[in-house]
Structure 1
Amino acid sequence: MIQAEEFVEAARRLGFEFYAGVPCSFLTPFINYVINDTQLTYISSANEGDALATAAGATIGGKKAVVMMQNSGLGNAVNPLTSLAYTFRIPLLLICTLRGDRQLKDEPQHELMGQITDKLLETIAVPWEFFPTEAAEIEPVLQRANAYMNQERRPYALIMRKGTVAPHALKRASIPTRSPINEGNNLGSTQKSFFTGDKEQRVSRYQVLEKIVELTQQPNTVIIATTGYTGRELFACSDRSNHLYMVGSMGCASSLGLGLSLVLPELKVVVIDGDGAALMRMGNFATIGTYGGSNLLHILLDNEAHDSTGAQATVSAGVDFAKIAQACGYGTTLAGDDLLLLDALFAADSNSSPKFAHLKIRAGTLENLPRPNLSPEAVLQRLISHISFQEKAEGREDRKF
């Protein structure tokens, strides 16, 4: 058995200061130690996949990150592990507990995952070893993990067995305090409607993207476009070094943007989301509302359809995303079908809270819509170089990984 301090401090010496995850009783001492330390960051995510994407965003911003989860939740993280971290080559240290361990009697729901955790990691090309149980093992384990991540720029996993870490008491509040919620409304938020009432004249996605490009200055802004037509249309509209075109990892654009915005608070992070993607990972609204700052702008383009897969209808027609964002703690929440909504969003002052816009658009896309002519890895490395160049120009550190 080791002390939480022994592992966390050894990891800190290698630069690991950002943690995101979903709790497991095996991880409690570990999480408590991180929360207690004001120099470390812990993000309590609603979903293991969102935790991984948030950590990926932090890594893009230059902070080495650790993702913590129970193996029962590993299934929730398989998609971003395979289509985000693997595809873009983002190194992350994954700590996954081993519920259903063959050596222990455990709850029936953990039986199968306990048998296949190691095989599942191997299947998705994530190398692993057991979490250290003795203090003398910590440094060698971390060195092996760090060397692999530096060389391959992909995740490395440590599987933690029960009783590995000694108890550690929680001494600080687990999450930051935000404005109180009263009868479903965030008292600190501002909500405004920009509806014209003419559904037949709704703007196209491309018109919206042109407007967003017009409103964003390249040096101090990053634009993250959700998977599907949104990223491809943004590329067709204007291919800039501050753009990230998501592929796969549907629903993870907002959690990735959260992680990046937290480690680079001087950078404006604009996330362009879709209704299908937002519905898939709506729990991240609450995480953004709790942790996000005013440098995060979350724009949801809602055409009430899964456009790139055949325009099958989503259930968004009856969903008021702006009210959801307001209830989750966003500082400014706007809704409408008029491009003036974007002017209001970028001009809004929401103090220290994130900003949100729900913009209704029409379905459809451009004829002969191109795909980005750079690989996802190249797009990401271009973005990192862009951020690094901007930071050097402003006298700040180089955050390239």
Structure 2
Amino acid sequence: MIEARSFCETAKLAGFSLYTGVPCSYVKPFINYVIDAPDLTYIGATNEGDAVAIATGAELGGKRAIVMMQNSGLGNAVSPLTSLNAIFQIPVLLIVTLRGEPGGPHDEPQHELMGQITTQMLELMNVAWDWFPREESEVAGVLEKAFAHMTKTGLPFCLVMKKDSVAPHKLTSKPVARPTVTAPAQAPVADLPKADRPSRQEALRAVQATARPDDVVIATTGFTGRELYACEDRHNQLYVVGSMGCASSIALGLAWAQPNRRIVVLDGDGAMLMRMGALATVGYERPGNLVHVLLDNEAHESTGGQSTVTHSMDLPGVARAAGYPSVETVTTAKELEDKLANRSEGLRFVYLKTRHGVPDDLPRPKVTPREVAGRIRKLTGGAA
């Protein structure tokens, strides 16, 4: 059994300063220690996949991150681990607890199957792993192995933690409550007929018109990224070609790592619905350099135009309730451009409904995900 301090202090020497994840009783000492530590940051995610995306964004911004989760949470993390980290070659360090360990201590029935297949799942996803250290003398060697693998391959590494690996650490900090006053409700904005709404391409050109070369623009998966590329490929644009719903979490991690750089995330209604819990995390953390733009065409257009349910929802109201201090609805591309031209500080949510339709012969990005990640690292000074 080791002390949380010894692991965290050794990891800090290797550059790991951000911890994110979803709690598990096995990893509780770590979470408690990190929350108490004045020189470490803990971002609590609502979903393990969101935590992987937050850590990924931080790494793109030059900050190493550790993701903590119960092994049951691997199911929620499969999408970003396989379609984000693997293809972009962005490494994060995982600590996954081994609930339901075969032959181990008695555990709840829901952990039985996952306990049997945890390491097999990691290997199937091409995630190298080792056992979490249980002796102080093992900490430096295990972290050195993980760091070397991450640096050489650009891929995640996982430490599988058995029960009672870390000594208890009592939490002394109190939760920091954010002010309960959220963004004031905007006066009702008349919804344009569908045919009169701006196209997604018009909205994306409005975004590009206001983006500075040192901003980072993150486009969600599907047609949003492809159309942004078609408008003009730029070195500061990240096309999230997989891990649907993770764009805002990537943006959160990047905004945390690069607090003096504006981060604009272009989200879609289907993607936001898939991981709506991310709004709560972003709304609580409230990075002052993040602008969250939602382009809502009420459809999964890239898969055939199937309807989402946003025609019957108040998504600006959801963002407002999640703690976004500024929530604005616009109806035209020009209004969107005017809002983004205002570079006032503070977390912002800008909502625009767009019409259906995709330009003829819409290209796919010729720049590879690894090249895109490399460009963002070069811009932010993040380590490859």
TM-score normalised by L of structure 2 = 0.97
1:129 aligns with 2:136: no
Match in the other structure for 1:211: 206
**How many Å separate the matches in 2 of 1:173 and 1:360?**
40
**How many Å separate the matches in 2 of 1:28 and 1:382?**
37
**How many Å separate the matches in 1 of 2:373 and 2:352?**
27
**How many Å separate the matches in 1 of 2:267 and 2:378?**
24
Distance change (3 Å), C-alpha of 1:189 and 1:12: farther
The alpha carbon displacement at 1:98 in A equals 0.5
Kept in 2: contact 1:335–1:341 (CA 8 A): no
Distance change (3 Å), C-alpha of 1:4 and 1:281: same
Task: Kindly provide the CA deviation profile for residues 132-169 of structure 1, in whole angstroms up to 9, marking residues without a partner as x.
Answer: 00000101100000000010011000000111100101
Match in the other structure for 2:106: 105
Task: Kindly provide the CA deviation profile for residues 339-365 of structure 1, in whole angstroms up to 9, marking residues without a partner as x.
Answer: 24424532557754x100121001121
1:365 aligns with 2:358: yes
Match in the other structure for 1:198: 193
**How many Å separate the matches in 1 of 2:184 and 2:210?**
23
Which residue identity lines up with residue 360 of structure 2 in the other structure? E
1:151 aligns with 2:146: no
User: Structure 1: which 5+ residue stretches go unaligned?
Assistant: 389-398
Stretch of structure 1 that moved more, 194-203 or 100-109: 194-203
Stretch of structure 1 that moved more, 334-343 or 226-235: 334-343
The alpha carbon displacement at 1:379 in A equals 1.0
Kept in 2: contact 1:48–1:77 (CA 8 A): yes
Match in the other structure for 1:342: 336
Distance change (3 Å), C-alpha of 1:198 and 1:273: same
Kept in 1: contact 2:62–2:380 (CA 8 A): no
1:269 aligns with 2:268: no
**How many Å separate the matches in 2 of 1:372 and 1:195?**
36
Distance change (3 Å), C-alpha of 1:330 and 1:344: farther
1:20 aligns with 2:20: yes
After TM superposition, the structure 1 = structure 2 runs for residues 1-400 of structure 1, keeping only pairs within 5 Å, are 1-102=1-102, 103-174=104-175, 176-181=176-181, 186=182, 189=184, 191=186, 194-219=189-214, 221-346=215-340, 352=346, 354-388=347-381, 399-400=382-383
Distance change (3 Å), C-alpha of 1:189 and 1:10: farther
Kept in 2: contact 1:206–1:234 (CA 8 A): yes
Number of aligned pairs?
A: 383
The alpha carbon displacement at 1:312 in A equals 0.7
**How many Å separate the matches in 1 of 2:231 and 2:338?**
22
Q: Secondary structure of 2:260's match?
A: coil
The alpha carbon displacement at 1:194 in A equals 4.5
**How many Å separate the matches in 1 of 2:25 and 2:186?**
39
The alpha carbon displacement at 1:193 in A equals 5.1
Which residue identity lines up with residue 259 of structure 1 in the other structure? G
Aligned CA-pair RMSD: 1.5
Task: Kindly provide the CA deviation profile for residues 279-317 of structure 1, in whole angstroms up to 9, marking residues without a partner as x.
Answer: 000000000000131210001111111101111111111
Which residue identity lines up with residue 72 of structure 1 in the other structure? S
Match in the other structure for 1:393: none
The alpha carbon displacement at 1:38 in A equals 1.5
Match in the other structure for 1:391: none
Kept in 1: contact 2:150–2:156 (CA 8 A): yes
Kept in 2: contact 1:195–1:336 (CA 8 A): no
Percentage of pairs with the same residue:
49
Distance change (3 Å), C-alpha of 1:189 and 1:381: farther
The alpha carbon displacement at 1:171 in A equals 1.4
Q: Secondary structure of 2:367's match?
A: coil
The alpha carbon displacement at 1:191 in A equals 3.6
Kept in 2: contact 1:236–1:370 (CA 8 A): yes
Q: Secondary structure of 2:245's match?
A: coil
Match in the other structure for 1:394: none
**How many Å separate the matches in 1 of 2:359 and 2:293?**
20
Kept in 2: contact 1:290–1:329 (CA 8 A): yes
Which residue identity lines up with residue 35 of structure 2 in the other structure? I
Q: Secondary structure of 1:104's match?
A: coil
Task: Kindly provide the CA deviation profile for residues 193-225 of structure 1, in whole angstroms up to 9, marking residues without a partner as x.
Answer: 554533320110000000000011112x10000
Distance change (3 Å), C-alpha of 1:347 and 1:191: farther
**How many Å separate the matches in 2 of 1:236 and 1:291?**
33
